[in-house]
Copies of this chain bind each other. A is one copy, B any other.
Amino acid sequence: MPRPPFTELIASLPSTVPFVGPEALARRRGRPFRARIGANESVFGPSPKAIAAMREAAEHVWMYGDPEVHDIKVAIAAHHGVGPQNVAVGEGVDGLFGYAVRLFIEPGMTVASSLGAYPTFNFHVAGFGGRLVTTPYREDREDPEALVELAAREKARILFIANPDNPMGTWSPAERIGELIGRVPEGTMLFLDEAYGEFAPEGTLPPLEVANPQVIRFRTFSKAYGMAGLRVGYALGAPEVILAFDKIRNHFGVGRIAQAGAIAALADQAYLGEVIAQVKAGRERIAAIAEENGLRAIPSATNFVAVDCGRDGAFASKVLEGLLARDVFVRKPAIAPLDRTIRVSVGTRADLDLFAEMLPRALAEARGR
């Protein structure tokens, strides 16, 4: 017998996925990459203490993780000087975006973002029937003032901004984000994605004002804490908003190893400091490589650098293909004018040596075509 139909919304969604993983590319190519510097992962990995905690927890994985995620909430709250009631923990920021969009968006409602901003957020907006409206980046930066005006004009239920930004790596100072927070229109929630916040210079993250019910801030253990494959992110906000996640979240979704690893990583701030210093040096190296090749690196406050290839998106795509063919996994933004860049994550010295070796060849090939 035929199956019942999917919901109208589901039927309308494409089967595309937000990102193709390097594993899928490697399968198609038939060989692995030699440098994996395309997914903004941290090659420096997590604290050795976090690895030890995960290895230890693997022995106890027959037990569900605490569904109330108590200990990790308490640790995060203490770290930020807020209360556990201000913290929701979920399966990465991606998972939390899904829940957070679902809390506020009914089909047809509007969400304001920047043209070319984080695709997985847009995936969840579409997944719950939201209508995305955008304003362009301005000089490769998200434009807080234009976003506020857009949200007000379109009566957006959610306004999304990342600071620092992905895919460009640019950032606004805390004062400017603070002004944005002060101007969020009535009827709008601000989703402030700070996944790369730990990498940013002092004065980038505005103070946490968790009493403000209009703002949810998103943080992760995937980037600076070096555990993208663990899936732990958290949201900070007002208790009434945080509590609502409990109405819909996958209560056992953050498992035993994940909780143990995240708690141990958070406790080792000295290691985090070392990673941040190494990432800064790596960004400088990528910028130097770009300059050696006559290209401009866009200043970044993240663990990646968008390198302006100097022509249009088609040209940058050729450069990207040339690098992929030479076993260097990088990615690039999909939407103009951001798509004139390739996005290179900070790698090990060996990763960046390979990038330095292959970039001129990829450029020559792209120019010669």
Q: A-side interface residues toward B, CB under 8 Å?
A: 1-4, 6-10, 13-15, 17-21, 23-24, 27, 36, 39, 41-46, 51, 54-55, 57-68, 70, 91-92, 94-95, 98, 102-106, 120, 127, 157, 184, 186-189, 213-214, 222, 226-231, 238, 240-241, 243-244, 246-248, 250-258, 261
Complex contacts, A18 vs chain B, CB 8 Å: 251
Complex contacts, A24 vs chain B, CB 8 Å: 66-68, 70
**Alpha-carbon distance between A39 and B250 when the two chains are bound, in angstroms:** 16
Complex contacts, A59 vs chain B, CB 8 Å: 45, 51
Interface secondary structure of A, over-half rule: loop
A232 to chain B, nearest CB (A): 9
**Alpha-carbon distance between A95 and B95 when the two chains are bound, in angstroms:** 11
Evaluate contact between B64 and A41: CB separation under 8 angstroms. yes
Q: With A45-B62, A51-B58 in contact, do A68 and B21 touch (Cβ < 8 Å)?
A: yes
Partner of A246, one of B17, B21, B157, B246: B17
Evaluate contact between B255 and A10: CB separation under 8 angstroms. no
| Contacts beyond the supplied A3-B213, A62-B227: 17 A-B pairs with Cβ under 8 Å | A10-B103, A10-B104, A15-B244, A15-B246, A17-B246, A20-B67, A21-B64, A21-B67, A27-B70, A43-B62, A45-B59, A54-B61, A62-B226, A63-B228, A94-B253, A230-B256, A231-B252
Complex contacts, A3 vs chain B, CB 8 Å: 189, 213-214, 238, 240-241
**Alpha-carbon distance between A104 and B7 when the two chains are bound, in angstroms:** 5
Give the number of times this chain occurs in the complex, counting copies. Answer: 2
**Alpha-carbon distance between A32 and B46 when the two chains are bound, in angstroms:** 30
Q: With A91-B91, A247-B15 in contact, do A23 and B66 touch (Cβ < 8 Å)?
A: yes
Partner of A23, one of B43, B68, B92, B104: B68
A346 to chain B, nearest CB (A): 12
Complex contacts, A254 vs chain B, CB 8 Å: 231
Evaluate contact between B92 and A61: CB separation under 8 angstroms. no
Most buried by B among A20, A102, A189: A102
**Alpha-carbon distance between A274 and B69 when the two chains are bound, in angstroms:** 32
Closest to A7 in B: B106
Evaluate contact between A255 and B243: CB separation under 8 angstroms. no
Evaluate contact between A243 and B15: CB separation under 8 angstroms. yes
A180 to chain B, nearest CB (A): 13
Evaluate contact between B2 and A92: CB separation under 8 angstroms. no
Q: With A54-B61, A54-B257, A58-B51 in contact, do A250 and B157 touch (Cβ < 8 Å)?
A: no
Evaluate contact between B244 and A10: CB separation under 8 angstroms. yes
**Alpha-carbon distance between A17 and B15 when the two chains are bound, in angstroms:** 32
